[in-house]
Amino acid sequence: MRNRAIACALVALVACGNDGPTQYADCGLIDPPCGSAPIDAPDDPCAIPGSCDGRPPDAPSAVCTGVTCSGHGACADVGGAPLCQCDGGFVRDTATTCVAATGPTLGGCPLLPVDHVFNTPIDALPAHANSDAFIATIGGTRRLHLDLGTQTDQQAADYYGIPFNLVRGSQLTWPTVAFRSTDPGLTWDPRPESDCAVGPTHTLARPCTAAAAPTPTLPIPSGVLVEGGVNSAANQQPYGDHHILVVDTDACWLWEAYHAYAPQPNAWNIYGAAGFDLRSNALRPLEWTSADAAGFPILPLLLRADEASTGTIRHALRFTIASNKIRIGYVWPARHLTDNGTTSTSLPPMGQLFRLKASFTIPANYTTQAKAILQAMKTYGMYIADGGSDMYVTGDPSAAWQDATFTQVQSVAASNFEAVDVAPIMARPGFDVNSGRVP
């Protein structure tokens, strides 16, 4: 959400080898770094037409001979053994068979379709060619940190995490909001990339410009839970992300607001908002932010205590690293960049996917929560969603979090992770850069 300025003209990217806008050597990048050469440029010494990252596509491995993945995936050679990367909407039943998946839900709503990339296992995708450099940039000795807490009183000083609100649509209230902040670091106009509602039927306005929405509203219920709590005095403004997440459980529509403060009762100042149809794979418009810098929805990637306590998490997670360690560029499915870093290919771009290495052994004596979290990091991975502290994984505030879960998860170092190359998904027939769907 921060630092909207862009240092160079940005060019959209489609899947490697497909017709369309110019393709760049780091094939996943939607916005190439300034000065990147197209992969078919004659002056690019490492360019190989039709390839990603300046390298030829891998040849099929002999270990995959005869492996069909039940007709719902593609076989990959992982450590000399066949492993199916299943199609969107499918998961592995065995190493070489794929079955229909069950996606995550909340409040009776899907948290995005089951074939969305956030809900798709990615453990059979190849490691990114720059993975070692990315981890070195983050710092291999940095350890995971659970950015959440057990305090549930949002006015308490130790209220950590991002809460969410589930509300029936018929019970929502729609106060008028102002796109305003006295924070001197917030200098751009958020309205051209924001959503809001207008009129008595709360029609979606996208973008929420002054012309389209002279009186913008958002569904902010009475007693709403806010990241960091609701400010109770004017001098508590204006610093902090202060996200608000609200799900209309009747419409299965998610609203997320950024930098939300109440200067007086029933009045809200915000600095950006985004709406998401939880039944749709549609991404934000190209180069639009959301309440998250990457343009992602926050809630579908949020670590939740109720889910972790079941022992199974069926989706990816979100995490942050320092803003100056994020490359000026973004990779699918992200839609937006920040410009605090550089164009160095040693820096991971916004939206880069990482996973816990298959070689990492999850101790059997860990809590159910810790094992579920670490297994999700192996199976579904975690995405750089914003700038912040290194290796901070965002979750909800809940009294259900166990003390041992913090100790166990936070013992895992960044060196146990690797970056994931999503180019094989982007190369599949039917891939759409404007959709989170995995063909």
Q: Which residue has the higher pLDDT, 434 or 37?
A: 434
* pLDDT tens sequence across 197-215: 999 999 999 999 999 999 9
Distance of CA 283 to the CA centre of its chain: 11
| C-alpha to C-alpha distances, 143 to 265, 361, 397, 417, nearest whole angstrom | 40, 16, 20, 10
Q: Each residue of 63-100: pLDDT tens digit?
A: 999 999 999 999 988 888 999 999 999 999 999 999 99
Residue 256 lies in a domain: yes
Residue 37 has pLDDT above 90, yes or no: no
Q: What is the pLDDT of residue 185?
A: 85
Mean pLDDT of 247-263: 95
Q: Is the pLDDT of residue 34 over 60?
A: no
Q: Which residues span the domain enclosing 222? A: 163-295
Pairing, β 244-248 against β 165-167: parallel
* pLDDT band per the 50, 70, 90 thresholds, residue 29: low
pLDDT of residue 7: 30
With bands split at pLDDT 50, 70 and 90, how would you rate the model's confidence at 299? very high
Q: What is the pLDDT of residue 43?
A: 36
- Is the pLDDT confidence value at 28 over 80? no
If one counts the domains in the chain, the total is 1
Is 131 a residue whose pLDDT tops 50? yes
Residue 240: what pLDDT?
A: 80
21, pLDDT greater than 70: no
* pLDDT tens-digit series, residues 112-128: 999 999 999 999 999 99
- Provide the mean pLDDT of the chain: 87
Say if 145 falls within a structural domain.
Answer: no
Between CA 89 and CA 118 the distance in angstroms is: 11
pLDDT class of 399 with cuts at 50, 70, 90: very high
CA distance linking residue 424 with residue 57, whole number of Å: 9
Res 176 pLDDT > 90: yes
Confidence label for 237 from pLDDT (cuts 50, 70 and 90): low
pLDDT in the model for residue 50: 31
Flag whether 290 is in a domain.
yes
Identify whether 178 is part of a domain: yes
Q: Report in angstroms the alpha-carbon separations of 25 from 6, 20, 49, 215, 252.
A: 20, 15, 9, 45, 39
How is residue 271 written in tokens? 């600095």
Please say if the pLDDT value at position 45 is more than 80. Answer: no
Q: What is the pLDDT of residue 265?
A: 80
Reported as a pLDDT band with limits 50, 70 and 90, residue 61 is confident
Q: Which comes out higher in pLDDT, residue 9 or 289?
A: 289
pLDDT at residue 365 tops 50: yes
In angstroms, rounded to a whole number, what is the distance separating the alpha carbons of residues 3 and 340?
Answer: 8
Please, which pLDDT band fits residue 46 given cuts at 50, 70 and 90?
Answer: very low
Predicted pLDDT of residue 104: 97
Alpha-carbon distance of 240 to 133, in angstroms, equals 31
Q: pLDDT tens across 143-170, in order?
A: 999 999 999 999 999 999 999 999 999 9
Confidence of residue 231 (pLDDT cuts 50, 70, 90): confident
CA dihedral 388, 384, 225, 188 (to 10 degrees): 70
Q: How far is the C-alpha of 62 from the C-alpha of 39, rounded, in Å? A: 29
pLDDT band with cut points at 50, 70 and 90 for residue 294: very high
Q: Determine the pLDDT at residue 267.
A: 87
C-alpha 201 chain-centroid distance:
30
**How does DSSP classify residue 188?**
S
**pLDDT > 70? residue 22:** no
Terminal CA-CA length for the chain: 29
What does pTM read for this prediction?
0.88
Q: What letters, b where the CB count within 10 A reaches 16 and e where it falls short, cover 256-276?
A: bbbbbbbeeeeebbbbbbbbb
